[in-house]
Amino acid sequence: MKKIKTIFIYIFVTFFAIITVFPFIYMIFGGLMTYEETTRIPPTFVPGSFKISNYLAVFNQAPFARYFFNTFVTATTTTVVSLFTSILGAFAMANLKFKGKGLIKIILISLLMVPGEAIIFTNYTTIMSMGLINTYIGLVIPFLTSIFYMYYLQSYFKSITPTVYKAAMIDGASDWEYIWRILVPMSKSGLITVALLSFISGWNAFLWPLLVTNESDMRLLNNGLAAFATEAGSQTQLQLAAATLIVLPILIVYFVFRKQIIRGVVNHEFKA
């Protein structure tokens, strides 16, 4: 009975894994097909010949190199700065004692309950009044800090016994030295997880860049893909090739750091 149950679980998991992965596989193969193959009924799943020229055509028809540059700059900036501010905020909530700390925590938690869509137009009005439309600063400034990442890292920092912090203070270390010499090295898995989540979020950004950019030179990848889908018209093979170009880098990042991501999530759940 137990063996039958195990077989059923494997079949169930395999079935839904195929359903999940199939669109990505077809997207990759579709980007290497001809137009006739992508529109054929019944559909073709494997290209007759691999058309690498589709990817060259994508770069010739739209400035995807510029889109990649813009996305890399904004995603990297938000990742580095948000990680920095999250470390400092999490340290303050985990180790420091000051008047009004409880009230500040309540305010931060309440802000977590506000959906980003509810304040996006307020942010847009602010950015526009500052003259930051079509600028890198306007693209990244709302995402330079994250309350969620602060609370995520706080669970790591609280798992470190307070005696370590007290011992560092007795030895004459400043809070700054304690953070970078002790706290950060002891929380690497959590920091890597936060950095990857932040980078993926920045790489996949769509709505905010759509609002604050109206020039093609400032578009990010997903906005450029949406515009390209319209401009490319019925050339589905080019649309699939462009989508593959956008997805592959983030998949590569995930597979390179998947162990750190899994370790960070497991450690967070265990500590929580």
To the nearest 10°, the Cα dihedral for 172, 174, 177, 183?
A: 100
Position 270 confidence tier, pLDDT thresholds 50, 70, 90: very low
* Predicted local distance difference test score (pLDDT) of residue 140: 93
Q: Specify the residue for token string 């450029």.
A: 224
State the CB neighbour count (10 A cutoff) for residue 100.
Answer: 8
Q: Which residues contact 29 (CB under 8 A, 6 or more apart)?
A: 45, 46, 47
Q: Which two tokens stand for residue 125?
A: 């009005």
pLDDT digits (tens, 9 = 90+) for 210-244: 999 988 889 898 888 888 877 666 788 888 888 88
Cα(110)–Cα(87) distance, rounded to whole angstroms? 20
* Predicted local distance difference test score (pLDDT) of residue 272: 47
State the CB neighbour count (10 A cutoff) for residue 119.
Answer: 13
* Predicted local distance difference test score (pLDDT) of residue 212: 92
Q: Is the pLDDT of residue 85 over 80?
A: yes
State the CB neighbour count (10 A cutoff) for residue 247.
Answer: 17
Q: Is the pLDDT of residue 130 over 50?
A: yes
Q: Specify the residue for token string 């994508």.
A: 58
Q: Is the pLDDT of residue 3 over 80?
A: no
Nearest CA to 228 out of 24, 20, 31 is that of 31
Whole-Å CA distances, 67 to 38, 89, 237, 243: 25, 32, 20, 13
